[in-house]
Structure 1
Amino acid sequence: MNCRIGEISLYHQPATASAAPASTNRNFATAAGRQTISFRYNLKFPFKCSSRQIHMENNHSSDSRGALIVLEGLDRCGKTSQSSRLLQYLEGLGHAVESWRFPDRTTSVGQMISSYLANKSHLDDHTIHLLFSANRWEKRSLMESKLKSGTTLIIDRYSYSGVAFSSAKGLDMKWCKSPEMGLLAPDLVLYLDISPEKAAERGGYGEERYEQLEFQKKVAQSYKMLSDASWKIIDATLPIEDVEKQLTETVLDCVATCRKGKPLLELWLS
């Protein structure tokens, strides 16, 4: 669906009554360009870690928008099944909603990632991390457009996965976060909590590169370090219907808040 998007002005908090200078948009474009991936191993990103809010100027009386909802967790925790159930539930209530998944294997970058995950190619750990990040940046503009048009997005894996898995390999967590800074911050992160041992008992485990018990234990530890105020921890060992009930209740509250004009924020800039 093609949507006409109003002008975006970015400004640093606290907000003032005056309009943001025109140079702000140019500065953001330059910063985003610096983030768009370099494959040099000791990459450093010159970010100023300040929170930035995306102000939506449109013809509506309020800044009503869709919610950005992310499902995270270990492999085989049930994210994909619950994403599908959430999609059907919200559609049934008449909400505009889409389900996305990262990595998006339909893009050129995503196809490289898919080959790597299927053990058909081998890449340096820094390189694959930057590819995962690039895959998310490929979709950032469309993501913002969808949200501002009122569409809620349910995302199966996001930046938290990228950082958790790469840091579990031994990469510096701060370095792993750097190329993710400036992506849209989720309104709600639903972390499906399950022990690595329980996840390993589920069907299909071990089909992809990262589905190894000892590695998943390290990923779980990395996730704990990434938890923030946007996270809701859900017991993924409960019956699937009980997990769904908890998710839908939390998601409905989030969607209502975003429809009232909750501002969009950018990830890890504060």
Structure 2
Amino acid sequence: MRRSSRMAAAASQAAGRTIQFYGHGIPYIDDTEIKGRLIVIEGPDASGRSTQIGLITAKLEAAGHAVLNTGLKRSELISEGILEAKRNFAGRKTLSLFYAADFADQLENKIIPALRAGYIVLADRYIYTLLAREAVRGISRRWSHNLFSFAIVPDLVFYLDVRPEELVHRVFQKNAYLDYYESGADMGLSDDMFESFIKYQTMIAKEFRRMQKRYNLVIIDGNRSIPETNADLQKRIDAFLESARAGRLAAL
């Protein structure tokens, strides 16, 4: 390769990389180059996702990174529609389509612009929660994967694995209540909400382990204290960002 060609290739790599989708993607965004990174924190309710994202955000910003937080049901266009659909006990596939619209709106108008600008995007849940919820409710995994095939492949995906019994303890520590859908009450698993919650969360955790290899999920022990879990997450994120930085410098 000529020197000029090598320099051009290095400059292109340093400037960014092309978005990778799980399927066909969004046609008019296919060739979009991004400079930022997408990091996902998955996990059930009360697993500590939001707390960890807050700590990671503060650390990254202190280190000079621009950070954008996102998550499910945060589309100004669709989020209210999801709540209304749940209140009216909409069908399972109808809810899936609502969530897909919510995700698509955020992806196009929030996530991709931030990645193009070089932000680190931290997602409090991503499509994997939706895929797991749909699978345990009997919706075809192939149908769900195809529905969300326009999703960007993240750089890192962490799943906070917490025992269902520990989740219940944490929920009641906050004087909260067991959510109808997060307890699988719509599935008729048990007349007792507590028992239903345990069964449902066990099913969801099993589904995440099933998805681990296909979607490159990194399982994190979330039963530990907040500082211990955070140290584990931050160490992995720092190592990834340092490796990515070294790769960019080597290409120059």
> Which consecutive unaligned segments of at least 5 residues does structure 1 have?
1-5, 13-23, 33-52, 57-62, 262-270
1:201 alignment partner AA: H
Report if aligned partners of 1:74, 1:196 keep a CA contact under 8 Å in 2.
no
Equivalence map 1:25-64=2 (5 Å): 28-29=27-28, 54=31, 56=33
Task: Report the structure number with the largest CA radius of gyration.
Answer: 2
Q: How far does residue 183 in structure 1 lie from its aligned partner after superposition?
A: 1.3
The counterpart of 2:134, out of the listed 149, 166, 184, is 166
Structure 2 match to 1:15? none
CA distance in 2, matches of 1:10, 1:74: 28
CA distance in 2, matches of 1:213, 1:206: 11
Deviant stretches of 4+, over 6 Å: 8-12
CA distance in 2, matches of 1:192, 1:89: 19
Equivalence map 1:112-261=2 (5 Å): 112-116=81-85, 120-141=87-108, 142-203=110-171, 204-211=176-183, 212-228=197-213, 230-259=216-245, 260=247
Report if aligned partners of 2:211, 2:217 keep a CA contact under 8 Å in 1.
no
Q: How far does residue 172 in structure 1 lie from its aligned partner after superposition?
A: 1.2
Structure 2 match to 1:82? 52
Structure 2 match to 1:3? none
1:96 alignment partner AA: A
Q: How far does residue 253 in structure 1 lie from its aligned partner after superposition?
A: 2.4
SS in structure 2 of the partner of residue 155 of structure 1: strand
Q: How far does residue 182 in structure 1 lie from its aligned partner after superposition?
A: 2.0
Distance 1:107 1:209, change over 3 A: same
CA distance in 2, matches of 1:74, 1:87: 20
Aligned residues: 212
Query: Normalising by structure 1, what TM-score?
Result: 0.70
Structure 2 match to 1:109? 78
1:220 alignment partner AA: A
Q: How far does residue 201 in structure 1 lie from its aligned partner after superposition?
A: 1.5
Q: How far does residue 196 in structure 1 lie from its aligned partner after superposition?
A: 1.6
Report if aligned partners of 1:66, 1:255 keep a CA contact under 8 Å in 2.
no
Cα deviation per residue 1:229-253 (whole Å; 9 max; x = unaligned)?
6322111011100101111111122
Distance 1:240 1:171, change over 3 A: same
CA distance in 2, matches of 1:95, 1:9: 21
Q: How far does residue 54 in structure 1 lie from its aligned partner after superposition?
A: 4.8
Q: Tell which deviates more after alignment, 155-164 or 195-204.
A: 195-204
User: Whose helix fraction is larger, Structure 1's or Structure 2's?
Assistant: 2
Q: How far does residue 92 in structure 1 lie from its aligned partner after superposition?
A: 1.1
SS in structure 2 of the partner of residue 201 of structure 1: helix
Report if aligned partners of 1:76, 1:205 keep a CA contact under 8 Å in 2.
no
Structure 1 match to 2:38? 68
Cα deviation per residue 1:41-64 (whole Å; 9 max; x = unaligned)?
xxxxxxxxxxxx7562xxxxxx7x
> Which consecutive unaligned segments of at least 5 residues does structure 2 have?
1-14, 184-196
SS in structure 2 of the partner of residue 210 of structure 1: coil
Query: Normalising by structure 2, what TM-score?
Result: 0.75
2:27 alignment partner AA: F
CA distance in 1, matches of 2:107, 2:237: 22
Cα deviation per residue 1:180-200 (whole Å; 9 max; x = unaligned)?
102111100011011222212
The answer to whether the aligner puts 1:94 opposite 2:94 as a matched pair is: no
SS in structure 1 of the partner of residue 78 of structure 2: helix
Report if aligned partners of 1:67, 1:258 keep a CA contact under 8 Å in 2.
no
SS in structure 2 of the partner of residue 209 of structure 1: coil
CA distance in 2, matches of 1:168, 1:109: 24
